[in-house]
Amino acid sequence: MLSRVADSLYWMARYLERAEHTSRLIAVKLESMIEQSTEDARASWARVAVALATDGVAADDDDIFAITQRLAFDRANPSSLLSSLRMARDNARQVREQLSTEVWEHLNRLYLRLQPVTIESTWVHQPARVFRESLEELQTLEGVTFSTLRHGEGWHFLELGRYIERAQLVSRLLDIHFGVDAPGYAEPPPPPKYLDWLVLLKFCTAFEPYCKEYTAAIRPERIAEFLLFDPEFPHSVKFAVDRVRDALARVAPGAPPSRRAACERLAGRLKAAVDFGQIDELIGGSIDAFLVEITHQCEQIHEAVYTAYIAYGAETVL
């Protein structure tokens, strides 16, 4: 596979995962506001703003309208919903021949449908509806991708991009709720309340799976254990890390072992950290460092993939 094709597939998957994550967080937050006081809603929105790591959104900004505009419809914000969809579509267009007609048409249709949407038109009646519909469309696109693409090398680059992005996004979301250092805040935020823990589960589509595993008793340490270490839940960090390692074992099968070694070693190190992590030890005070290290190791894997398979020079092959 050409390195430019692998690059576009990888980034297409990352941007689609980012768009889905953004849609879900905004939809859930808008739907949950009716159950919160004004003060609690502001603190929760600050967590959303910091979790999505958008430039220019202050964690202490109490203008929910402005925050939603920035997170969703600001074309100058590279992490906004519209920007993520635009970049996913641009990458898909560069490798159109690698995609099925169904995948391209579904992505293109979603992008064109959201282009004319504005925060003003969304805010009038049911502001959460457009984000819930976008989330459903993105989940449908994931299913269309799974069922209509050949699961060859290109597919594994899609999987690699999707799960590296998911591991980082979920780790950051957990760090904001469980961490002590409060990254991204000017001042330490108030600790999460009962409804905030419910919302966190819904942010990760985890409320019902969590209840089936632990019953409906909401305990923060169990939430952390489930979203970090559950091997069967698709939005847990462990599930994402396992899929990253599986994808790396299948991409570039013809590459020399020396070029594959760095990627596989880093993925194995990350998997070992997650496999042997203990929630009791982490909740005791080291969860911040653990979650930051997961994000850092994902970045190292990303750089190693680029060095080995995408941005290498001719002298490397020779």
Task: Give per-residue pLDDT as tens, 55-111.
Answer: 545 555 668 888 899 999 998 999 999 999 999 999 999 999 999 999 999 999 999
> How do residues 273-299 score in pLDDT, each as one tens digit?
999 988 988 887 789 899 999 999 999
Interval 18-62: pLDDT, tens:
999 999 999 999 999 888 888 888 888 888 988 987 554 555 566
CA separation for the pair 31, 3 (Å, rounded): 42
Give pLDDT, residue 3. Answer: 86
Taking 60 as the threshold, does the pLDDT of residue 318 lie above it? no
- CB burial of 174-194 (b: ≥16 within 10 Å; e: otherwise) equals bbbbbbeebebbeeebeebee
Hunting for tokens 């021949």 — which residue is that?
97
CB 79 within 8 A of CB 10: no
* Amino acid, res. 318: L
Q: Which helix (H) or strand (E) holds 63?
A: none
For the chain, how long is the longest CA-to-CA vector? 64
Give the model confidence (pLDDT) of 167-224 as tens digits.
Answer: 999 999 999 998 766 555 656 667 889 999 999 999 999 999 999 999 888 999 999 9
Structure tokens at 133: 């519909």
Dist. CA 181–CA 289, nearest whole Å: 10
Check residue 40 and report its DSSP letter.
Answer: H
Could you give the CA distance from residue 57 to residue 46 in angstroms, rounded to a whole number? 9
Q: Give yes or no for a contact between 267 and 248, defined as CB atoms under 8 angstroms apart.
A: yes
Taking the C-alpha atoms of residue 155 and residue 317, their distance in angstroms, rounded to an integer, is: 24
User: Is the separation of the CB atoms in 240 and 267 below 8 Å?
Assistant: no
pLDDT for position 56: 47
Per-residue pLDDT at 202: 96
pLDDT at 281: 85
